[in-house]
Structure 1
Amino acid sequence: MNGYFTAAVAGLVAGGTYALLGVCAVFTYRLVAVVDFVGAAIGTAGAFAFAMSAELGLPLWSCTLAGIVVGGVVGGAVGWIMTHWFADAAASTKAAVAVALLVGLAAIGLRITGGQHPHAFPVLFEGSAFRLAGVEITNASLATLILALLFTLGADLFLSRSHVGLQLRALSERPMAAELIGIPVRNLSLCVWVVGGAATAFALILIAPQRAPNFLALSLLVVPALAAALIGFFRDFWATLAGGIAMGVMEGITAATPGLGEYRAAVPFLVILCVLLWSQRGVRFDDAR
């Protein structure tokens, strides 16, 4: 039993990452009504800009800034495509475009970064914060959890309390009406993509040293991110935060269970399936009656 508790604590590291990426996906969806399949790939571009800058011998702070800027720029580029070419498209079309951009960014990223050629990702926050249940919680892992909590709190307060946040909600829910009353729809949409790209890049800079150092592996973190967002039904930031952390804990427990460790990567897919089945329970019940 103690072994499972230790595995659950170890899973908090991944859970913080999933929660942060999931909250970024909810933030994008609530403001520009796009399921952000490409978000993790945008952040990965920033993370590799950070690593490649460090390989040139630049100071760590400037490498971090470079990674965040690249994430914001790539996010802005994706946002420009979505707002100028697909602003009035159906939600399914926007989702398909986002998937296509994910594939395109992954292909370009693999080419630029040398495919499976490993890159050294410096640890932004070195050292151990404390030990819990025999598991060493690093400063980087703790920073990821704190960042996920702060971004969740900030996004929630921003949308519910600020004037700009209310404008952005109007943009998402009634884009044509928002434009008619003078809200700068395209500029605000671009800002959302830039902020989301920068935040995702910083998150992946923090956790990249603990992951496989290739572009595709980091880009595919979009799967657990969207699973966490789905737990909050792409509306509730706090449910997404809790869902992401819980999913990391589930992965840790699965990894420690004999015979199931090699299937830990299937946890996000099972979560997505269960949430979708739960969301259709009313329809199935009505059909059964």
Structure 2
Amino acid sequence: MFETVVSGLVIGAAYASLGLCVTLLARMGGVVNFAQTAIGLLGSYVVLVLCDLQVPVWVAASIGVLVGGLVGAFSGVIMARWFKDADVGVRSSAAIALMIGYLSIGTRIFGDRPRPSPPLFDGPGISLGGVYVSNGLLVSLAVSILLAVALNRYINRSHTGIKLQAFAAKPVTAELIGIPSSRLTVLIWSMAGCISALAMLIIMASSARNANYISLSLLIIPALCAALIGAFSSFYTTLLGGLLLGIFEAAALSWSSTAPYAQTIYLPVIVLILCWTKRKDKWDGQRA
């Protein structure tokens, strides 16, 4: 049981990191970013190409995270330029268009065959209760927890974070009082791009995820599910949701009868959450 939890936390921490990116943009940018994993993949696949060219892995990883940030910033420019005054539905539809575009570009450049990922976290891990805990788990957990704490503090306590909240709540008023909405939009998209590139790299470095480009892009589903658990607003609940999803997936994979359906656990979770969040409307309607 403990071994299942440990293996699930590795991938769950990466799901949580992706979910945190989705929550950040939903809360501060007013968009459900379906392109999040597509942006991260462009950065993480650059890392694989650089490693094939014998570039040291941490140099390659740094460049890949930077590429993810640049692609995110480019996406932010598009959103700030043409969709600044659009509602959340239009902006989210634009994010779907970005996802399709980035996937087309990525598969054209990198192909769609599985690529092995270099080990990111060499060195001895630790043993807990007779179960080996790798450095990969420790680092991915630390990254996701630190991200949740840092984003929460950044949004709620920093001067820029307060500006972002003002812009998200009242964009027209925020612009009238001099808050640079376009620059802030580019900033949060760039931040999310850097984080998603790192998260996708961690996922590909795990032994279970040497999948092809298109399959990896579908990890937007658990990312959205984690963000939905956090109601697209709470970083800490999104973190917990991502970790739990990873554990549930690992538990499903550990049983031969449920292993083929491990990737479908997100559908019932999404349905249950949506039904729970709409329960008040339903009950009020029945009482009326």
Equivalent in the alignment of 1:173: 169
Deviation digits for residues 78-102 of structure 1 (CA, Å, limit 9, x no counterpart): 1111111111112111111111211
Equivalent in the alignment of 2:6: 9
Decide which moves more: 204-213 or 107-116.
204-213
Query: Does residue 119 of structure 2 align to residue 127 of structure 1?
Result: no
1-structure distance, mates of 2:132, 2:33: 33
Deviation digits for residues 238-272 of structure 1 (CA, Å, limit 9, x no counterpart): 11111110111111122223521211101122211
- Report the TM-score when normalising by structure 2: 0.94
2:76–2:186 contact (8 Å) kept in structure 1: yes
The residue type equivalent to 2:173 in the other structure is A
Query: Does residue 236 of structure 2 align to residue 233 of structure 1?
Result: no
2-structure distance, mates of 1:268, 1:27: 21
User: Which of 174, 190, 193 is the aligned partner of 2:189?
Assistant: 193
Equivalent in the alignment of 2:205: 209
Query: Does residue 46 of structure 2 align to residue 46 of structure 1?
Result: no
The equivalences for 1:1-289 within 5 A come to 4-116=1-113, 118-132=114-128, 134-210=130-206, 211-289=209-287
1:227–1:268 contact (8 Å) kept in structure 2: yes
1-structure distance, mates of 2:66, 2:254: 38
2-structure distance, mates of 1:136, 1:78: 41
1-structure distance, mates of 2:40, 2:129: 32
2-structure distance, mates of 1:48, 1:225: 19
Alpha-carbon shift at residue 57 of structure 1 (Å): 1.4
Alpha-carbon shift at residue 121 of structure 1 (Å): 1.7
2-structure distance, mates of 1:208, 1:136: 20
Structure 1 residues 136 and 107 mapped into 2: Cα distance closer, same or farther (>3 Å)?
farther
In structure 1, runs of 5+ residues without a counterpart are: none
Deviation digits for residues 83-126 of structure 1 (CA, Å, limit 9, x no counterpart): 1111111211111111121122112111111222x333211211
The residue type equivalent to 1:270 in the other structure is P
Decide which moves more: 148-157 or 195-204.
195-204
Percent identical across equivalent pairs? Answer: 37
2:2–2:131 contact (8 Å) kept in structure 1: no
1:141–1:207 contact (8 Å) kept in structure 2: no
1-structure distance, mates of 2:163, 2:98: 27
2:226–2:241 contact (8 Å) kept in structure 1: yes
